[in-house]
Structure 1
Amino acid sequence: MKALIFGLHLALLAPLCAVAQKSPVKFGEIPMVDMTMKIYDKDSSASAVILSDYGEAYVTVTAVNITLSFERHVRIKILKKDGFDQADVEIPLYREGSEEERITKLKATTYNLENGKVVETDLSKDGIFKEKFNRNINLQKFTFPNVKEGSVLEYSYTLVSEFFTNFPDWQFQYDVPVRWSEYWALFPEYFAFQKYMQGYLPPAIYEVKPKNSTDFRIDAHHWVMKDVPAFKDEPFITCKNDYVSKINLALSHITIPGQPVREIMGTWQKLNTNLLESEGFGKTVTGSGFLKKKAEELTTGMTDPQQKVAAIFAYVQKSLEWNGTKDIYADNLKTIFENKKGTAADINVALASMLEKIDIPVDMVLLSTRDHGFVREQYPMSSQFNYAICIVTLGDKTLLLDATDRFLPMGILPERCLNGRGLVISKTKHGWIDLKPNAKARTVINTELVLNPTGELKGKVKYTHEGYAAREFRQAYFAKGEQEYMKGFLADKAWDIESSEFQNQTEITQSVNQVHALLINEHVTVAGGMIYMNPFVVGQTKENVFKLETREYPVDFGKPEEKTYLCRLTIPDGYAVEELPKPKVMMLPNNAGRYTYSVSQTGNMVNIVSMLQINKSMFVMDEYPNLREFYNQIVAKQAEQIVLKKL
């Protein structure tokens, strides 16, 4: 960066700066119509509305330095208590080494209408604080004072950055509606940017205006969106940041007359080379010599490479606790082992380093977790990644390893990692690899129940959890303890538990079971010699999770799922079956999903088997109508009852 800045200074001896634009509103001048607003007319359900969101970014080049400036002015109307979270503001500040972006000219005011007059409450300096988010990001935070239903909140600031290659993106859409959103990005003519829109809302205005500043031309890119609807969060998406309407910007290269082109974005191969040679990544894997002795001790007498990998994996998984931070660079591994806790990068780089010490072919894989968003492979930027795992190659077998989760066996990635493709960082095998799940989320519920004429059910319910479902159970069970787990488990059930048994809680390579002996008194209806009973005493799908008629983004389950419910019901003497649910089989195209409902009766025994299988992780928008109707029919089928008649 310093060499680049020096070269630019030599080329640009005359100052180059922006031509300031104007915010569409003036700070402190709040129209009375906004102060008295009770409901936003374009979305009566809105808890708040962003009245105006204005931003302007520009680069200033002088003979002394180069700076990136980003000015922002936001005005928000609070309509309901649910909108109070809009009063909490976070501004990310990038940092590298001793340099950090800084905020200047920050001001924030709350406006309330009291006795017909507008009363202002300014943010005090002691209400502003900073906290670390990860290695390269700090968060400047503040909360507006005196916020009430009906308040208008307004803030503005200027962010000043020496990292002029980190040109800010602009988000038009949020989880509350936006009345006006406007962004100016002023690019010096020598700076070439990649620009791409995401989301499904086109801008009302997009224009490029050339502006002269001393000896250089500035291209002022201008976007406006009006009456932007709130982003409606639907189930089974990676993160909303992948789908909100947004303009993304990335500096590609700088072309100075008479000088070679200066690549900024570079290539994935260049990133690969840099990471292999960097501290905290490649050099930490091949260094960290203190781990050699322990790695050799753990694998003494072993000849099978996979057995060695398993021994090292188990040691790291049990020795180092994940602190919840996602990162791609590791700190000093000796300190990490002393503290017995670290980031995802600390743990997985440590795993790679120990494997490297016993000559296991291991590399690192960069990825973006589901809550961080997609990786756009056409834009080679390391900022798209926030996580690192290991990849081991044993003959023709490849293992993806993440030792951060103590409830997942070796070779099964945490669900947060199942997000498209990862980038292998390697001297010999650099490239992309699919991040596919090696397990399902499988649950089998087996009920054996005896029904008496008063409507009481007595028997047992057994849950068997496998794969990701077992991980979810173990995480809840060990986080709460058995007693608290049972309180939560029974919170929505009218069950009288006689006894409970748990099996294989600590054996993460096996399925985990819970068996409950119970009485159920509030599930069956008895009336006029008839008994009505839904066979699902637990696990019934009562409503369709896919509520929108159309969906503008994919359904991403993350991993395959399988849910099986078995009911073996003994009916009381003196009663006969009047009506049973009909068998049914449904399939989605290409066997992407399957639902089977079977019914049989032998004497006084009725057997119900319900099995739902989701066989692929991603459903695109064109597949949504079929998927939604598939779930509609499941809801309808599982609502059907068994009807018994007294003889």
Structure 2
Amino acid sequence: MKALIFGLHLALLAPLCAVAQKSPVKFGEIPMDDMTMKTYTKDSSASAVILSDYGEAYITFTAVDANLSFERHVRIKILKKDGFDLADVEIPLYHEGTDEERVSKLKATTYNLENGKIVETDLSKDGIFKEKFNRNINLQKFTFPNVKEGSVLEYSYTLVSEFITNFPDWQFQYDVPVRRSEYWALFPEYFTFQKYMQGYIAPTVYEVKSKNNTDFRIDAHHWVTENVPAFKEEPFMTCKSDYVSKINLALSHITIPGQPIKEIMGTWQKLNTTLLESDGFGKTIAGSGFLKKKAEELTVGMTDPQQKVAAIFSYVQKSLEWNGTKDMYADNLKTVFENKKGTAADINLALASMLEKLDIPVDMVLLSTRDHGFVREQYPMASQFNYAVCSVTLGDKALLLDATDRFLPMGILPERCLNGQGLVISKTKHGWILIQPKAKARTVVNTELVLNPTGELKGKVKYTHEGYAAREFRQAYFAKGEQEYVKGFLADKTWEVESSEFQNQAEVSQSVNQLHALNINEHATVAGNMIYMNPFVVGQTKENIFKLEAREYPVDFGKPMEKTYLCRITLPDGYAVEELPKPRVIMLPNNAGKYTYSATQSGNQLNIVSMLQINKSLFVMDEYPHLREFYNQLVAKQAEQIVLKKL
């Protein structure tokens, strides 16, 4: 980038800043109305409110260099203890090689009202620290001192960066209300930026002010929002950053007079080429020669490519522990294997490298995980991705592999990866592919119970977990150990368990079973000569998970799911069925979901079958009313009672 700046012969910061205004509030001058505020009038439930959030970003030039500066000034009112987490501040710092973004002029003060006077507590230097987030991001962190209910928190800083392509976006909406948010983005005329708004909050002000310098024009883009409501997360959402109100900015290209246009954003094809030639990506796969011997040892005598892939996958999955970091560039793989631990990129590029050593066709697929946000294809930027998995071609089929999760079988991606499309990085097959779940979250509960006249139920309950449901069970089981797992499993149940048994815990390619022999004393109600009982001793959906009448965001289950409940109840002698729930089938349009319920009697036994199927992962906003009503009817059906009468 420095080479581009040589031809500009531009100087001085002052002409750039002259276009913009300053923060609408002065640091340290806190109105008494804000100090005495007990609740926020526009949202009485708010635990805190951002009183003012001001930002200004601009590029400064010298004859030999260019820097990006970002000034931030934030003021927050803490109303309840639930708002204390806003006292912990993180500032992301991008770094590459020896260059790193840096924070200067950091000030942070807590204001409390004591005996009618405002008492200030300043942040001390020992309250500031830095920690690694991932390969290219460190976090500058600090925590406000002396925070109480009623405190006002205020901080400001300037971030200076040599990475002018990382022009900061601006978020207007947070988990708490925002009284005023203001952002200035100053663009030199030679810099072309793509700008796109997201979310449902329209700016109160959007204007562009221009000022001609001696050598060039500055276009100052100005956004203001006021009284922004808190963002409310809803069930089955992906990354909330996909939906909060925000202005996104991306440097597209630089046009310097007398020089060729410099493409910054480029194309996906250019990114493909860059990654194939990158030390931490393509060259890591093609290199890492020490893996060849091990790959050959693991597959000696094998001729079936699928067998070879399975052997290598199992070895990497069991040998390398994922450290929790999502990444798409690997470190030195020899060091990774020595440490037996690594990032997602370390593990999956190691897998690709070992397969490549066996001449098995393998490519990498870039993803954005569900907590990172969806990818916008019209903006070809590597920063939209944060993860990479392998794509192996076996015959005419491509198999996606991720060896980071020891509780999933080969070919089933972790749920975090199920987020729309992926970009194949390949010499021959570059392009987009749809990332689809290859398994359901399936659970079958099978109960066999005997009902006594006292209302006690005695018998067995068997759970069978498959797909993502099995993965969830195994993670909890091995994290806690069997004894603690059983204790936690029974924590919300009024069961007396005589014995528990588990099957196939470690066999990830098989379903896993848990069986419990038990007595249940508080499920059925005896009233005179009547017994009232809900047939669901477990798994009843008691309330609709979708409470809002209208929804602004898609419902994303991530994967299809199926829950089956089978119950056989042997009735006590001398009792007859007075009321039995009627059979019911509830359908979503286009077979997107189905609920089936039946309760039948055969002699002295009752048989209940309940099956819920959600057959697709994503429901758009227009489908929400149908989905909400579907769950309303399901809840009502599962609430129906069985009534028995003594003869």
Unaligned stretches of 5+ residues in structure 2: none
Q: What is residue 528 of structure 1 aligned with on the other side?
A: 528
CA contact (8 A) 2:10 2:215 kept: no
CA contact (8 A) 1:18 1:60 kept: no
Which whole-Å CA distance do the structure 2 matches of 1:209 and 1:607 have between them? 73
Q: What is residue 472 of structure 1 aligned with on the other side?
A: 472
Which whole-Å CA distance do the structure 2 matches of 1:622 and 1:525 have between them? 42
1:224-623 mapped onto 2 (5 Å cutoff): 224-623=224-623
Which whole-Å CA distance do the structure 2 matches of 1:310 and 1:207 have between them? 58
The yes-or-no answer on 1:207 pairing with 2:204 is no
Measured after TM superposition, the shift of residue 7 of structure 1 is: 2.5
**Counterpart amino acid of 1:561?**
M
Q: What is residue 217 of structure 1 aligned with on the other side?
A: 217
For residue 634 of structure 1, give the secondary structure of its aligned residue in structure 2.
Answer: helix
For residue 10 of structure 1, give the secondary structure of its aligned residue in structure 2.
Answer: coil
1:112-151 mapped onto 2 (5 Å cutoff): 112-151=112-151
Measured after TM superposition, the shift of residue 10 of structure 1 is: 1.9
Which whole-Å CA distance do the structure 2 matches of 1:405 and 1:426 have between them? 24
CA contact (8 A) 1:72 1:156 kept: yes
Measured after TM superposition, the shift of residue 213 of structure 1 is: 3.0
The yes-or-no answer on 1:18 pairing with 2:13 is no
Measured after TM superposition, the shift of residue 250 of structure 1 is: 0.1
- For the structure 1 residues 292 and 475, does the alpha-carbon distance in structure 2 shift closer, same or farther, using more than 3 Å as the test? same
Deviation string for 1:309-367 (max 9, x for gaps)? Answer: 00000000000000100100001111111111000000000000000000000011110
Measured after TM superposition, the shift of residue 257 of structure 1 is: 1.6
Q: What is residue 5 of structure 2 aligned with on the other side?
A: 8
Measured after TM superposition, the shift of residue 141 of structure 1 is: 0.2
**Counterpart amino acid of 2:447?**
T
**Counterpart amino acid of 2:72?**
R
For residue 257 of structure 2, give the secondary structure of its aligned residue in structure 1.
Answer: coil
**Counterpart amino acid of 2:7?**
L
For residue 73 of structure 2, give the secondary structure of its aligned residue in structure 1.
Answer: strand
Which whole-Å CA distance do the structure 1 matches of 2:10 and 2:527 have between them? 93
CA contact (8 A) 2:2 2:64 kept: no
CA contact (8 A) 2:389 2:402 kept: yes
**Counterpart amino acid of 1:324?**
G
Measured after TM superposition, the shift of residue 14 of structure 1 is: 4.4
Which whole-Å CA distance do the structure 1 matches of 2:171 and 2:142 have between them? 20
The yes-or-no answer on 1:196 pairing with 2:199 is no
Measured after TM superposition, the shift of residue 211 of structure 1 is: 1.8
**Counterpart amino acid of 2:360?**
I
Which whole-Å CA distance do the structure 2 matches of 1:440 and 1:38 have between them? 48
**Counterpart amino acid of 2:17?**
A
Measured after TM superposition, the shift of residue 15 of structure 1 is: 4.2
Measured after TM superposition, the shift of residue 229 of structure 1 is: 0.4
CA contact (8 A) 1:15 1:214 kept: no
Which whole-Å CA distance do the structure 1 matches of 2:142 and 2:64 have between them? 33
**Counterpart amino acid of 1:323?**
N
Which whole-Å CA distance do the structure 2 matches of 1:351 and 1:621 have between them? 39
Which whole-Å CA distance do the structure 1 matches of 2:275 and 2:577 have between them? 69
Which whole-Å CA distance do the structure 2 matches of 1:213 and 1:152 have between them? 40
CA contact (8 A) 1:598 1:608 kept: yes
Measured after TM superposition, the shift of residue 21 of structure 1 is: 1.8
**Counterpart amino acid of 1:597?**
Y
**Counterpart amino acid of 1:496?**
E
RMSD over aligned CA atoms reads: 0.8
**Counterpart amino acid of 2:385?**
F
CA contact (8 A) 2:5 2:64 kept: no
CA contact (8 A) 1:18 1:213 kept: no
CA contact (8 A) 2:588 2:626 kept: yes
Measured after TM superposition, the shift of residue 65 of structure 1 is: 1.7
**Counterpart amino acid of 1:8?**
I
**Counterpart amino acid of 1:511?**
S
TM norm structure 2: 0.99
Which whole-Å CA distance do the structure 1 matches of 2:519 and 2:10 have between them? 85
**Counterpart amino acid of 1:110?**
T
Which whole-Å CA distance do the structure 1 matches of 2:9 and 2:469 have between them? 60
| Percent sequence identity over aligned pairs | 86
Measured after TM superposition, the shift of residue 61 of structure 1 is: 1.2
Q: What is residue 63 of structure 1 aligned with on the other side?
A: 63
For residue 120 of structure 2, give the secondary structure of its aligned residue in structure 1.
Answer: strand
Deviation string for 1:66-108 (max 9, x for gaps)? Answer: 0100000000000000000010000000000000000010000
Which whole-Å CA distance do the structure 1 matches of 2:150 and 2:212 have between them? 44
Measured after TM superposition, the shift of residue 64 of structure 1 is: 3.2
For residue 510 of structure 2, give the secondary structure of its aligned residue in structure 1.
Answer: coil
**Counterpart amino acid of 1:639?**
A
Which whole-Å CA distance do the structure 1 matches of 2:629 and 2:230 have between them? 26
**Counterpart amino acid of 2:450?**
V
Which whole-Å CA distance do the structure 2 matches of 1:342 and 1:6 have between them? 36
Measured after TM superposition, the shift of residue 298 of structure 1 is: 0.7
Deviation string for 1:453-478 (max 9, x for gaps)? Answer: 00000000000000000000000000
Deviation string for 1:534-564 (max 9, x for gaps)? Answer: 0000000011111111110100000000000
For residue 6 of structure 2, give the secondary structure of its aligned residue in structure 1.
Answer: helix
Moved more, 17-26 or 333-342: 17-26
Measured after TM superposition, the shift of residue 258 of structure 1 is: 1.7
Which whole-Å CA distance do the structure 1 matches of 2:122 and 2:214 have between them? 39
Measured after TM superposition, the shift of residue 214 of structure 1 is: 3.1
Measured after TM superposition, the shift of residue 259 of structure 1 is: 1.4
Unaligned stretches of 5+ residues in structure 1: none
Which whole-Å CA distance do the structure 2 matches of 1:39 and 1:213 have between them? 47
CA contact (8 A) 1:18 1:218 kept: no
CA contact (8 A) 1:14 1:215 kept: no
Which whole-Å CA distance do the structure 1 matches of 2:636 and 2:482 have between them? 35
CA contact (8 A) 1:459 1:517 kept: yes
Which whole-Å CA distance do the structure 1 matches of 2:427 and 2:112 have between them? 61
The yes-or-no answer on 1:87 pairing with 2:87 is yes
**Counterpart amino acid of 1:18?**
C
Measured after TM superposition, the shift of residue 12 of structure 1 is: 2.9
Measured after TM superposition, the shift of residue 5 of structure 1 is: 1.9
Q: What is residue 624 of structure 1 aligned with on the other side?
A: 624
TM norm structure 1: 0.99
CA contact (8 A) 1:89 1:143 kept: yes
Deviation string for 1:461-496 (max 9, x for gaps)? Answer: 000000000000000000000000011100000000
**Counterpart amino acid of 2:579?**
E
1:100-115 mapped onto 2 (5 Å cutoff): 100-115=100-115
Moved more, 58-67 or 120-129: 58-67
Moved more, 19-28 or 576-585: 19-28
CA contact (8 A) 2:5 2:65 kept: no
Which whole-Å CA distance do the structure 2 matches of 1:359 and 1:258 have between them? 48
For residue 609 of structure 1, give the secondary structure of its aligned residue in structure 2.
Answer: strand
**Counterpart amino acid of 2:5?**
L
